[in-house]
Amino acid sequence: MDLPPLTKTQERAVILGLILLGWAFIVVARLFGLQILGHDDFLRLARRQQESYRPIGAPRGSIFDRNGNILAISSSSHRVIVNPRRIPNKGFAAALLARILGLDASELQSDLERSKGGYFVVDDQVTDEQVAALKAMDLDWLELREGSVRTYPNGAVAAHVIGNVNGSGKGVAGIEAKLNKDLSGKPGSLRIERDGKAISYESEVVKSPSMGKNIGLTIDRELAYIAQEALRDAVVKNHGDHGSIIVMDPRTGEVLALENYPTYDPNAHLAIGEKPVGREDLAVVAPFEPGSVFKIVTLSAALETTNLTPYSIINCGGGVLRMFGRVIHDSHPNGVLSMQDVLARSSNIGAIRIGMEVGNEKLYEYIRRLGFGTRTGIELPAEAPGLVRPLKRWQPTSIGSVPMGHEISVTSLQLAQLGSVIANGGFLVHPHLVAWEQTPGGPKLEIDRPDPVRVLRSDTVMTMRRMMRRVVSEPFGTGHLLHVVGYTIAGKTGTAQIYDYAHRVYTHRYNASFLGYGPAQNPAVVVVVTVSGTTGVAGFGSAASGPAFTRVMSSALGRLGIMRDVPQEIDEILAKQEILAKHKSKSQETDSDEVAALSDPLTPEELKDAAGQDTWVDPNAPKAPNFVGKTVRDVIAEAAAQGIEIDMLGEGLAKTQIPPPGASLIPGEHVRVRFAR
C-alpha cells in the first residue's frame, strides 16, 4: 500500500538525519583513517615532535710512541656552540660569552662576524660552573654539548706525524686524519623526550658508543724532540726557508723521527680567517730536485750494468763539459778521477760521464727500481710520488742532468728509503709509522708489512758502502768535516740549485741535503736532512745539513743502544785531525803545490804528534808501494791488487807520493799520489 506523503516537517527531519548520518560516516571514516590506517605515520610525527635523538660521541683512541709515551689523548668536556645567523647582536653576545668564559670579547666578536655558517664552536673546554651559568640564560642561539677535547701533551714534537683534529673532533692531518676511522670508534645514540614547550624531561641511551682504537707509533718522542731542535737550528742558522729531517731503521722501515720546520702546536686552533703556517708535512708532500745525493743511484746502476769499478778512470774534463750547446761546470776543476773519487768529491761531470756509460734506459730502470716516482705508502695523507719523467719524454740533454740529480724531483722520505737500500744490504723496505693497534680491552696487534724486495746485489751494496764511507773519511770528501763520536758514518752530500719556474733559470739558492747512515760497517740508522733556500758556500749540503745529521745520528745510535765501533783513543785522534783540517782549510791557496799540501792527509808523524803517543806504527804493517813514474792506470791496478786505498791528484805520470815508498802504513791509511805531465 502506498505510504502517505511526508510532511514538510518530516522531509526536513529526514534530510537532517541523512546529513547527520553522512557526517557521522565521514567522522568514522576519518577516525578509522587516523586511528587505524594512519596510526604509524601519525605516531611517527608525534614522536618527532616529542622525541629527539642525539649522537653520543665515542671516546677517541689514544696515540702512543714506541716507548709507551702518550702523543695524543682525549678527555671529556663541555662544548659551547652558537648559531651566528640567529644572534641578533653579535657585539652584545660576544661580551656576554666572554665574561662567562673568560675570553677576549673583541676577538670573539670578530670571529662571530666573520663566520658565514650556522655553526661556531666558541669554547670546547667549559667547566660545570660555566655550563650552569649559560643554561640559566636560556639563549635560543646557544647550545651546550657534552663532548671531548683532544690534547697533545708534547706540543709541536712530531706534530706533522700525529696531526690534529678539527672542531668536530675529526682528524684533519697526520695519523689523526689517515687513521681517523680507527681512532674515532662508533658513536652511540641518546633518545630525549620533550613536552609541549620543548623542555626535555626524560632521556635514554639507545645505543652505547664504542671507543676508538689505540694506535702505537714507531716514533721515539725524545729523538723526535732532538731532531726538531737540530733542524730548527740548521734552518735558522743558514737563513733557509724550511727544512725536513727523517730518522729511519733501514732494516725494518720504522720511522723513528720525522720533523719539519717551520712546525706548529696541534693544541692551537686556527682562528677564522687565520692563515695556517708550518702545517705542511714537507718531508712527505713536497718534492724537490735532490742534486748530488742522487749520484748514489747513478753509481749503483753503473756497478750493476757496466764494467766500471771504483777504480775505473773517469775523465772530468778539467771541470768543464759541453754538450748540446750547454756548458756544465764542477765546483772545483778535476782532470781524471777514479769512480770512487767522483763520488767522494761529488763531481757533476764525473757523474754525467758515468750516467752516459749506463745509458738512459738502464738509468731510468734503476731510478724506478729504487722507489722514485712511486709513493712509499707511509701512513700519512697526501704523500707525493715525486716526478720521474717517462723515458719517452727525456730530452737529449737529460743525461746531462738526471745523473747529478736534476730534471727529477723526490721527497725526503724517498731519500731515506734510498739510504736504507744501501744500509740494509740491497732491499727496498716500506717506510711506516704505525707499529700496533689495540681495540678497547683487546691485545696489541702488530701490523703486517709487505716483505722487502731486493733491488741491488749484495756486492753492489758493499762497494757503495765503501765509496760512501770515503765521502766523510777522506780529507777531500765533501762531508769530511762530519764526525760522530764513537761511530763510523757514511753518506752523501747534496747541493741542488733551486729552479725559478717563473723565469726558467736556476738560482743561486740551494736545497742542501745530507743522506747518511751509521755505523758504517753494520748500519742501524739512516738520517736524511734537507734545508731549503740556503745560499753561498756555507749553504752547501755538508755545511748546512751536516751538523744536524751528526747531532741526530749520535742521539739515535745512543738511544738504540748500538755499540760504538770506534775506540775512544781513535776518537781523540780524529777530533784533533779535524781541528787541524779546519785550520788548514782557512789558509790562503797561493799555488798548486800549496793546494796539494792543504788536501794531503796527516802524515804518520803528524798523527803521532796529535795522538801524543811514542809508538804508532806496527813494524809488521804493510809498506807503501813505489808508484813514482807510473801511469794513472798502472797505479790504480797495483793499488787494487795490494788492497791499498789511494788518492790521486793531477794527470800524467806519478811524480810524488805520501807516504813515501817503503813507509809502513797505518791501518786504513791512504797513499796520496800526485801526477804531472
Average pLDDT of the chain is 85
Cα separation, 479 vs 468, in Å, equals 10
Whole-angstrom distance, CA of residue 222 vs CA of residue 586: 37
- Which residues make beta-bridge pairs with 246? 258, 528
Take residue 490 and report the three cell numbers written for it.
757514511
**Whether the Cβ atoms of residue 248 and residue 255 lie closer than 8 Å to each other:** yes
Q: What is the pLDDT of residues 364-393, one digit of tens each?
A: 999 999 999 999 999 999 999 999 999 999
DSSP per-residue codes, 409-443? BB-HHHHHHHHHHHHHTSEE---B-EEEEE-TTS-
Least confident stretch, 106-115, 225-234, 240-249, 499-508: 499-508
The amino acid at residue 247 is: V
Phi, psi of 250 (to 5 degrees): -70, -20
Q: Stretch 45-54: mean pLDDT, rounded?
A: 66
> Can you say whether the dihedral through the CA atoms of 552, 555, 559, 560 is positive or negative?
positive
Q: Quick one: pLDDT at residue 272? A: 60
More confident residue, 1 or 539: 539
For the stretch 287-343, pLDDT in tens is 999 999 999 999 999 999 999 999 999 999 888 888 877 888 887 888 899 999 999
CA 627/CA 609 separation, integer angstroms? 27
- Residue 370, C-alpha cell as written in the block: 729504487
Element (H, E) at 204: strand 200-207
At residue 95, does pLDDT exceed 50?
yes
- Closest listed residue to residue 221, CA positions, set 42, 71, 425: 71
C-alpha distance from residue 35 to each of 29, 43, 547 (Å) = 10, 10, 83
Q: How many angstroms separate the CA atoms of 64 and 70, rounded?
A: 5
**Is 649 exposed, middle or buried (CB count within 10 Å of its CB: 0-12, 13-18, 19+)?**
buried
Beta strand 200-207 with 188-194: parallel, antiparallel or unpaired? antiparallel
Please check the confidence at residue 609 and state whether its pLDDT lies above 50.
Answer: no
Helix (H, G, I), strand (E, B) or coil at 484: strand
- CA–CA dist 426, 421 (Å, integer): 5
Angle at 352 between CA 349 and CA 355, to 5 degrees: 155
Q: Quick check: 463 pLDDT over 50?
A: yes
- The closest of 429, 404, 407 to 418, measured between CA atoms, is 429
Burial of 429 (0-12, 13-18, 19+ CB in 10 A): buried
Q: Identify whether the C-beta of residue 408 lies closer than 8 Å to the C-beta of residue 418.
A: no
Q: Say how many Å lie between the first and final Cα of the chain, rounded.
A: 155
CA 129 from chain centre, in angstroms, equals: 43
What is the predicted pLDDT for the residue at 596? 29
How does DSSP classify residue 577?
A: H
pLDDT at 586 > cutoff 60: no
- Across the range 244-263, mean pLDDT stands at 97
Answer yes or no: are the C-beta atoms of 219 and 161 closer than 8 Å. yes
- How confident is residue 438, by pLDDT bands cut at 50, 70 and 90? very high
Q: Is the pLDDT of residue 175 over 50?
A: yes
By CB neighbour count within 10 A (0-12 exposed, 13-18 middle, 19+ buried), where does 389 fall?
middle
pLDDT category at 478 given cuts 50, 70, 90 is: very high
Q: Which residues have CB under 8 Å from 611's CB, separation 6+?
A: 569, 572, 573, 576
Banded pLDDT at 671 (limits 50, 70, 90): confident
Per-residue confidence (pLDDT) for residue 12, from 0 to 100: 79
DSSP 42-72: HHHHHHHHHEEEEEEPPPPPPEE-TTS-EEE
Q: Looking at residue 605, what is its pLDDT?
A: 46
pTM (two decimals): 0.76
- The rounded percent of the chain whose pLDDT value lies above 90 is 49
Q: Which three cell numbers stand for residue 546?
A: 751536516
Q: In 3D, which of 284, 530, 243 has the Cα closest to residue 383?
A: 284
Alpha carbon distance 176, 409 (integer Å): 28
Q: Residue 599 above 50 pLDDT?
A: no
β-pairing, 671-676 vs 646-649, is: parallel
Check the CA dihedral 24-29-35-36 and report its sign: positive
Instruction: Show the CA angle centred on residue 622, arms to residues 617 and 628, nearest 5°.
Output: 110
From CA 350, how far away is CA 316, in angstroms rounded?
5
Q: How many residues does the chain have?
A: 677
pLDDT at 600 over 50: no
All 3 cell numbers of residue 493? 752530500
CA separation, residue 85 to residues 89, 270, 539 (Å): 10, 21, 53
Measure the CA–CA gap between 585 and 340, rounded to whole angstroms.
Answer: 23
Q: In which residue are the cell numbers 745512543 written?
A: 558
Q: Which grid coordinates are listed for 669?
A: 791509511
pLDDT at 578: 61
Helix (H, G, I), strand (E, B) or coil at 306: coil
For the residues 31-40, what does the mean pLDDT come to?
70
Q: What is the Rg, in whole angstroms, of the alpha carbon atoms belonging to the chain?
A: 37
Residue 279 or 2, more confident: 279
CA quadruple 533, 538, 541, 544: dihedral sign: negative
